[in-house]
Structure 1
Amino acid sequence: MKLAEILKQPQTIEELYQNLLRRQVEIDVRRGMTKAEQAQIIKELFPEVVSETITMAGYGMESKVKLPGTGGEYKTTLSGGQYPAWLDNKYHTNEYHWQLNRMDWWQNLLAAYAFTGENAYAERVLAELRDWTNVVKRPELTPDDFSKLEKNFHSLSPWRVLEVGIRLHKSWPLIMEHLLGDPVLDLKTLEIFVLSVYEQAEILAAVSPQFFPKADHNHYVMENLGLLWASSYFPEFKNAEKWQKQAMAELERCIEVQMTEDGAHIEACPMYHNGCMRWFTLGLLIARDFGLEFSENYKKRLEKGLEYSIYSFRPTGETVPWGDSRANQGAIMGGFYGYLAFRRSDCLNILRDYTSEQAFYQQIQNHIWFLYDIREFKQCLAETSENHMPLLNHQRRVKQAAFRTSWDKQAHSLFFGVYTPIHTGHTHMDPLGFDYTALGQNLLVDPGYYTYENNAMREKFKSPQYHNTIIINDQYPFEYINAFRYGEQKNGDILLAEERADHFAIIGYHDNYQPVRLMRAILLIEGKDLLVLDLVKGEARTADIYYHLATDQVQQIGKSYLGFWPEVQLQMTYSSGLTAEVLEGEYSKDTDAKSPSKRIHLKAEPVGAENLYAALFRVAPKEQVVEAVQLSVAKDANGWKIQISGEYAYQVKWDGETEIVYQGN
C-alpha cells in the first residue's frame, strides 16, 4: 500500500506532515495549551504522577509487561529478539497475546519522554512501531465472506478487531500527541505510521459493524473510538468523511443501547461500566478536538453513569468485583472522566476519599494527559464535596440494587443482583447473589473473575458455589458451556428495593429451576444485622446455600460460625433444618491473583413444597465479646415469621412475596 492509494488528493509525506502540524496547532488552541506546556504543569503540580510514570516506563524499556498469564508479575515480552514477540503467545494465555498487541506501555514511555526529554523513551516506541508493522501483516479483508472475517479478525491474532480499535484510540494516537514536530519522528517512520493507521481503520469501518450489528457490546464502543480518531486526525484519507460520520453515528447508537436510563452499562459489570465511562467520554474529547458535537441524549446518559460508578464502589475503596470485574480502584477513572466531560468534581472527590493518595494518582496517571485545566483540577481536589446522593440505588434494567448505611468508610454496604436472562458472558452464575462490606472490611464477597481462559479455574470462579447465593439439587442455575457462553436462562428480577426508617429491604426471585421458584429477601437492620431469607417454592432433592467469606480464619462455636479479620469479626447463625460445613475457597482481586478464603455451605434435604431458610450475620470489632443469638422460623396463615432472640431481639414477617415487615422489640 502506498500513500497515493489512501489519500483524497495526491500529497507527498512532507506535504501531509505540514498539514498535520497545522492541524495540531488548531487542536492546541482549542485545548488552551501544547503538550510541552501541559507536561511542565503536570511536573509542577503532580510530582507523584511523574515519579510513577518514570518507574513504569522503566519496565517498558526492559520489554517487561504485567499481563494476563504473567502471574501478576512483570515478565519479558522477548523471545530471542530485541523487540516484543508480537506473534508469540509466550505465556499460553490468549489475553496475553491480544493485550501485548495493544502496546499499552507506550503510554508510559511517551509520557516519560515528555517529562524528561530523554530520547531513548521515544526511540524505543518508534523502533517497536517499525518492527510491528514489518512483522505483523494484515490478513486479507473479505467484507462479503463472514467466515473469513471471523477467522482473520475475531481469533487469536494481533488483528482481532478489538485490538485494532484499542490501538487506534489508546496507544497509537500518543505518537502524534507527543512526537509530531519532534526531530525524533522522521518522515519515513511517519509514513509507515500513516499507512498502518489507514489499514487498521479500514478494518474498523468494514468489519466491526458485522460483528456487532446491534451495537450492544463494549468492544464496539472501543472500535468506533479508533475509527473516530483515525478519520478525524487524518481528513486527508479518501474515506475519512464517511468513516467519521459512521463512527459518530455508531457511538450515538452504542450509548442509546448500552447505557440504561438508570445509569448502568447493560453488561452489568462494574469494571466494564467504568471502562465505558472512559470510552464514551473519550468520544466527547476526540469530538471536541475537531469541532464536533455529540447529542444531548449522549451527554445525559453518560453523566447518569457517574452514579453507578459510585454505588458499585465499596466503602473499603475497591470496585465490587461483580461478574468479570476486578476489585480495584477503577471507579476513580470513571469519576475522573466524569470530571473531564462535565466538570463534576463532586463525584471524583467522593471516590477519592475512599482511597489512598497513592492509589488515586496511580489510577489517573495515564489519563491526566486529557486534562487541560490542570490548575483548576488541582484546586478541586483540595475541596470537600458533600454527598447528597440517596443511600439506595436500584438499577431496574440490569436488575441490581446497592445500598449503604452512610457514605462513611465504616458503613455497611451491600450490592445485590439477579441479572437473568444475562446480556453477555461477563456475567457469572450468581442470580440472587450479593457482596457485603462493613466496618472497613470486605466480609461476604463476590470472588471476582481470576481468569478469562477457558479452563477449570474460570468455571470455578463463575460458579454459584463460589458466590453468596442459593442453588437447587446441586445444579447450576443454567448450563455452563464455556468461558463466555451459557445455555438458556429463565427470568428473574428485583421485586422490592427500599430504604426504610430503621432498615433496608431487598426482595428478588428467579425461575431458572422451574418448576421451583427461588426467592431471597435481604434486610440490613438498624446498621447492625444482615438477615438473609431464602424461600424455596417447590419440591426439590436439595437446596444448597453458599456464603463466601474473605478470610481463611473461621471457627465453629455451637450452631454459629465466626469469621475473623485483623480488626473485625463476623458471626453467622442459621435456622433449623440445615446442615453446615466449612469449605475451602479463593477470591480474586486481579487477573491471575487469588487469596485463600473459606466458604460456608448450608444444605437442606429434602425440600418440601415451600420452605424458608434464614441466616443472620452480625459484625463487630474483633475484641468485642459476641453474644449468642437464637434464630427461629415459623409459618402461619399470613406467611413467615422470623424471630431473633437475645440481647438485641426483634422479628421479621414476610408474606413470601413483596410484603416484608421488621418489628423491633
Structure 2
Amino acid sequence: MKIQLKEKIILIKICLAFVLAVHSSILKSQTPDKDIFSIINLDYKGLEDVKKLHEAGKDTEACAALLTYYKQRTKIVNPELDLSHIWISKEEQRWADDALEHKFYSHEGFVPSFFYGKDIDWSYWPVKDNELRWQLHRQKWFIPMGKSFRLTGDEKWAKEWTFQYLDWIKKNPMIEKNNNSTGQNNGTASKDVSQADLENMTYAWRQLEVSERLQNHYSYFQLFNTSTYFTPEFFCTFLANVYKHANYVVNNYSRDGNHLLFEAQRLLNAGILFPEFKDAPKWRKSTIDILNKQMAIQIMDDGMQYELDPKYHMAMIYIFCQALTIAELNGYQAEFPPKYKETIEKMIAAYYGILLPDLSMPMFSDTHEMPAANAIANLKNFTKVFPNDQQIRFLITDGKEGVAPQSPLIAMKTSGFYSFRSSWDRDAIGMVYKGGPGGGDWHWHCQLDNGTFNIMVKGRNFFPDSGSYSYAGDDEVMKMRNWFRQTKVHNTLTLNDANLENVDTRCLLWKTIGNADILVTENPSYNNLKHRRSVFFVDKKFFVVVDEAIGSATGKVGIHYQMCEGDVTLDLAGQKAFTNFDDGNNLIVKTFSEQKQVMAEEEGWVSYQSKQKKERKAFDFNVDKQSDKPTRFITVILPVESAAKSQEMKAVFANPFSEKGLGVTLKIGKQNYKLNYQL
C-alpha cells in the first residue's frame, strides 16, 4: 500500500512537472510577432535602437530592446495604478486565488465563481444570463493576480496569468464582422467559421468588453513586466493584442449611450499610454471628438445623463473625469474646451442632488444598492478634479467644512428628478421623486415608473425602489427582470395593473406656498387616461400626495406602495399601513378617496443586488372607475414615533376637480391644514 501511494505521488509530481515544462517551453519557443514593427512608429523618440535592430533583421533583439524601452519610460502617467501604493482587498484576493484553479469571477450575482475547466472553456455558460458570459471576458481577476504577484514576488501568479492571457487569445479569435450597435455578429464571416465561434464572438468581442480589456492592458504591463514570464517575445504578442483591441474599438463603436462613452474613454487611455503606435494620434482624436460631441448630446441641460439611471449617471461622471485626468497628467488637456469641465461640475451637482439625505442612492432604473460610503468615496474622487468645490467639501465632511448647497429643494425639470429635504443634515426627512421624459433605445435602463419616489427619515428608506434583479438572458432571466420593471411594483398609479403605455411627464408646478413645498407633475400614462400627481411637503415634516386619474378610460385605478422590509402592518379595514420599528422611527401611510376604495395586499420584493431579492410588504388603494369622472386619492405619509400613539387623521378635497388647481383640507389630531395651488 505504501509503495502504491509513493508511486502515485511520484506520478503526480511528474505530471505537474510536465505541465510546467510545457508552459515554459511555449513561452520560450515564442517567436517575435514581426507585424509589431509595422504598427509601431519606429521613428518615435527613444526607439532608435529598436529601429536599427529591426532593420538589421534582428527581430528577437529588437523585441528585447522594445521591452527595455517600455520598462524605462518615465513620462507616461497611468492614473489607474500607483505602483508605490499597491493594496489588494479580501475580495480581490479571493478572485486571484480562485483564478489559479480556473474559477473565474465574472459577476456579483454569481458567487461562488464557476469552474471553467483545467483546459479553459471560455465559451462555458452555466447560467443563461448574458451578463455572466459578457463579463467573463472582462477578465476582472487579471489585475488582482498582478497585485498578488507584485506584493508577494511569487512567480506562480505571473506564470498562470501569461498562460490564461495566451489561452484566451488562442481560443477567442476575432472574426471580421459588420459594424453595428449591439455587438451581435452579422454573419459576414467565411463559411469555414463554426456557428459556435460566431456565437462566442458576440460575447468575447462585444465592444464594451473589448474596451475594458484594452483599458486594463497598461496596468497589466506595470504589474507583470518584472516577471521572468514576461519575455520580449510575450511582450510583442501583448502589444499586438493591444493594437488589435484598439483598432477594433475605433472601427466598431457602439451607436450611442453609456457604452459609446465607456469605449471612447478607454480607447483614449490606449492612445495616451501607448503613444508609440502609429495609430495612437488617430485614436486620441477619435475619442476626444466623441467625448466632446456626446457630452452635448447625452447630458441634459439640468446635468443628468439622458438614460435617467442614477448608477449610469455616476459612471458617466467617472468617464468624463477620467478622460480629463489622464489628458492633464500626460499633456493633452488642451484638447478639451472649458465647457467640458463646466458640464462635469453640473453633472456632479445633479448627482448629489438626487441622493437621499444620508447620501445613499435611490435604486431607480437599473441601479443597485449604493450606500452612503459609495457616494462619499465618489465625491472625494471628484475633489481631484474640483479641489475648490465647497459644496462637495460640505457633503463629504458632513457639514464640518465647506458650504452647503444653496437649497435643500432641487428640481431638475428636463430629466424629471426632484428632491425635497428638510435640511442638508444626514438624518433629515427627504423625498427623491422620478418623473421624466420618454425616449428611444437609450432608455433601455429606465423603467416605466413615472411618478415613483423614495422617502427617507432619519436614515431609514421607507420606500426603497424595487431594483432590477437582472439584466438580460434567456426567458427565465427576462421573466425575473420584467417582474421588477413593472409599473405596479413602484410607488405610482396604474390602470388595471398594466405597465404605462405612455411616458412623457411634464412639471406643472414647483413652488413653495405658505408652509408647503409643492410639486405637480402630469403624465399621459394610458390611452385616454393621464395621471396628475401633486406632492405637498408640509412644514418640512410630512408628505401629502394627491393622485388624479383624468380621462375617459375605465377600469381599476390603483395607487401602489412598496414598503421597506421589517415589521410593517397592513390595516386593510382602516385603509392604512404603518411600520413598527422599536427605535422610534416609524411611518404611517393612509389614503382617502371620494369614491369607494379598496386596500389590497400585493406581492412585494426588493432587489438590492443582482440575483438577490428580499420579501417586503406591498399594497395598493384602488377604485373601480366606470365613467369619465376623474378618480382622486389623497395619501398622507406621516413620520411618527409610534403608530399606536399617532393622532387621528382625516383628509378631503376642498373643491371639485379642476384642471386649473387643487384644494385639500387635512386634519391631524387638532391641527388643521389647507393645502392648495392654482396653475
Instruction: Note if 1:79 corresponds to 2:116.
Output: yes
Q: Give the match for residue 312 of structure 1.
A: 354
Structure 1 residue 72, shift from structure 2 partner: 5.2
Match of 1:545 among 559, 569, 592: 559
Instruction: Note if 1:474 corresponds to 2:491.
Output: no
Q: Give the match for residue 84 of structure 2.
A: 37
Q: Give the match for residue 405 of structure 2.
A: 388
Structure 1 residue 582, shift from structure 2 partner: 1.5
Does structure 2 retain, via aligned residues, the 8 Å contact 1:154–1:161? no
**Which ranges of structure 2 fall in alignment gaps of 5 or more residues?**
1-32, 43-50, 55-61, 188-197
Alignment of 1:615-634 (within 5 A): 615-622=635-642, 625-634=645-654
Question: More displaced, 544-553 or 623-632?
Answer: 623-632
Structure 1 residue 105, shift from structure 2 partner: 2.5
Q: Give the match for residue 663 of structure 1.
A: none
Does structure 1 retain, via aligned residues, the 8 Å contact 2:466–2:490? yes
| CA separation of 1:106 and 1:336: change in aligned 2, threshold 3 A | farther
Q: Counterparts of 1:539 and 1:124 in 2: how far apart (Å)?
A: 68
Does structure 2 retain, via aligned residues, the 8 Å contact 1:551–1:564? no
Q: Give the match for residue 444 of structure 2.
A: 425
Structure 1 residue 624, shift from structure 2 partner: 6.7
Does structure 1 retain, via aligned residues, the 8 Å contact 2:177–2:186? no
Q: Which amino acid is the alignment partner of residue 488 of structure 2? A: Q
Other structure's SS at 1:532 match: strand
Match of 1:13 among 45, 57, 63: 63
Q: Which has the larger radius of gyration?
A: 2
Other structure's SS at 1:245 match: helix
Other structure's SS at 1:635 match: coil
Q: Counterparts of 1:385 and 1:122 in 2: how far apart (Å)?
A: 46
Instruction: Note if 1:221 corresponds to 2:255.
Output: no
Match of 1:97 among 99, 108, 133: 133
Q: Which amino acid is the alignment partner of residue 343 of structure 1? A: P
| CA separation of 1:427 and 1:277: change in aligned 2, threshold 3 A | same
Structure 1 residue 71, shift from structure 2 partner: 4.3
Does structure 2 retain, via aligned residues, the 8 Å contact 1:153–1:159? no
| CA separation of 1:148 and 1:323: change in aligned 2, threshold 3 A | closer
Does structure 1 retain, via aligned residues, the 8 Å contact 2:559–2:622? yes
| CA separation of 1:521 and 1:142: change in aligned 2, threshold 3 A | closer
Other structure's SS at 1:465 match: helix
Structure 1 residue 566, shift from structure 2 partner: 5.4
Structure 1 residue 112, shift from structure 2 partner: 3.7
Does structure 1 retain, via aligned residues, the 8 Å contact 2:269–2:326? yes
Other structure's SS at 2:446 match: coil
Question: Which whole-Å deviations, capped at 9, do the CAs of 1:574-631 have from their partners, x for residues lacking one?
Answer: 1132211121200111111111111121111125433321111112234872222122
Does structure 1 retain, via aligned residues, the 8 Å contact 2:380–2:396? no
Instruction: Note if 1:130 corresponds to 2:169.
Output: no
| CA separation of 1:111 and 1:312: change in aligned 2, threshold 3 A | farther
Structure 1 residue 384, shift from structure 2 partner: 4.0
| CA separation of 1:86 and 1:147: change in aligned 2, threshold 3 A | closer
Does structure 1 retain, via aligned residues, the 8 Å contact 2:518–2:537? yes
Question: Which whole-Å deviations, capped at 9, do the CAs of 1:89-132 have from their partners, x for residues lacking one?
Answer: 22221101111111122333333444444444444433321221
Instruction: Note if 1:200 corresponds to 2:245.
Output: yes
Alignment of 1:45-444 (within 5 A): 54=93, 57-64=96-103, 67-68=106-107, 71=109, 73-76=111-114, 78-81=115-118, 83=120, 85-142=121-178, 150=186, 156-169=202-215, 171-180=216-225, 183-208=228-253, 211-212=254-255, 216-293=256-333, 294-329=336-371, 330-343=374-387, 352=396, 384-422=401-439, 423-444=442-463
Does structure 1 retain, via aligned residues, the 8 Å contact 2:560–2:618? yes
Q: Counterparts of 2:578 and 2:562 in 1: how far apart (Å)?
A: 13
Other structure's SS at 2:433 match: strand
Instruction: Note if 1:457 corresponds to 2:501.
Output: no
Q: Counterparts of 1:148 and 1:63 in 2: how far apart (Å)?
A: 27
Q: Give the match for residue 27 of structure 1.
A: 76
Does structure 1 retain, via aligned residues, the 8 Å contact 2:607–2:613? yes
Question: Which whole-Å deviations, capped at 9, do the CAs of 1:458-481 have from their partners, x for residues lacking one?
Answer: 111111111000012432212xxx
| CA separation of 1:120 and 1:299: change in aligned 2, threshold 3 A | farther
Q: Which amino acid is the alignment partner of residue 445 of structure 2? A: H
Q: Give the match for residue 517 of structure 1.
A: 530
| CA separation of 1:64 and 1:331: change in aligned 2, threshold 3 A | farther
Q: Counterparts of 2:237 and 2:199 in 1: how far apart (Å)?
A: 21
Other structure's SS at 2:579 match: strand
| CA separation of 1:185 and 1:549: change in aligned 2, threshold 3 A | same
Q: Which amino acid is the alignment partner of residue 286 of structure 1? A: I
Q: Counterparts of 1:629 and 1:72 in 2: how far apart (Å)?
A: 48
Structure 1 residue 199, shift from structure 2 partner: 0.9
Q: Counterparts of 1:500 and 1:51 in 2: how far apart (Å)?
A: 53
The TM-score, its normalising length taken from structure 2, stands at 0.81
Q: Counterparts of 1:561 and 1:145 in 2: how far apart (Å)?
A: 47
Aligned residue-pair number: 600
Does structure 2 retain, via aligned residues, the 8 Å contact 1:554–1:598? yes
Question: Which whole-Å deviations, capped at 9, do the CAs of 1:341-377 have from their partners, x for residues lacking one?
Answer: 22257566656568xxxxxxxxxxxxxxxxxxxxxxx
Question: More displaced, 145-154 or 546-555?
Answer: 145-154
Question: More displaced, 86-95 or 147-156?
Answer: 147-156
Structure 1 residue 505, shift from structure 2 partner: 1.6
Q: Counterparts of 1:543 and 1:251 in 2: how far apart (Å)?
A: 45
Question: Which whole-Å deviations, capped at 9, do the CAs of 1:375-432 have from their partners, x for residues lacking one?
Answer: xxxxxxx974443342122222212112211222221121112223134110101111
Structure 1 residue 306, shift from structure 2 partner: 1.4
Does structure 1 retain, via aligned residues, the 8 Å contact 2:505–2:521? yes
Q: Counterparts of 2:520 and 2:553 in 1: how far apart (Å)?
A: 22
Q: Counterparts of 2:212 and 2:634 in 1: how far apart (Å)?
A: 47
Question: Which whole-Å deviations, capped at 9, do the CAs of 1:49-70 have from their partners, x for residues lacking one?
Answer: 76665466445445445544x7
Instruction: Note if 1:555 corresponds to 2:569.
Output: yes
Question: Which whole-Å deviations, capped at 9, do the CAs of 1:213-264 have from their partners, x for residues lacking one?
Answer: xxx4110011112221222222332322222211111111122222223221
Question: More displaced, 560-569 or 516-525?
Answer: 560-569
| CA separation of 1:200 and 1:614: change in aligned 2, threshold 3 A | same
RMSD: 3.1
Structure 1 residue 635, shift from structure 2 partner: 1.9
Q: Give the match for residue 667 of structure 2.
A: 645
Question: More displaced, 517-526 or 393-402?
Answer: 393-402
Structure 1 residue 337, shift from structure 2 partner: 3.4
Q: Which amino acid is the alignment partner of residue 360 of structure 2? A: E
Question: More displaced, 59-68 or 582-591?
Answer: 59-68
Structure 1 residue 141, shift from structure 2 partner: 4.2
Q: Counterparts of 1:122 and 1:35 in 2: how far apart (Å)?
A: 19
Q: Counterparts of 1:490 and 1:595 in 2: how far apart (Å)?
A: 29
Other structure's SS at 1:342 match: coil
Does structure 2 retain, via aligned residues, the 8 Å contact 1:510–1:518? yes
Question: More displaced, 156-165 or 385-394?
Answer: 385-394
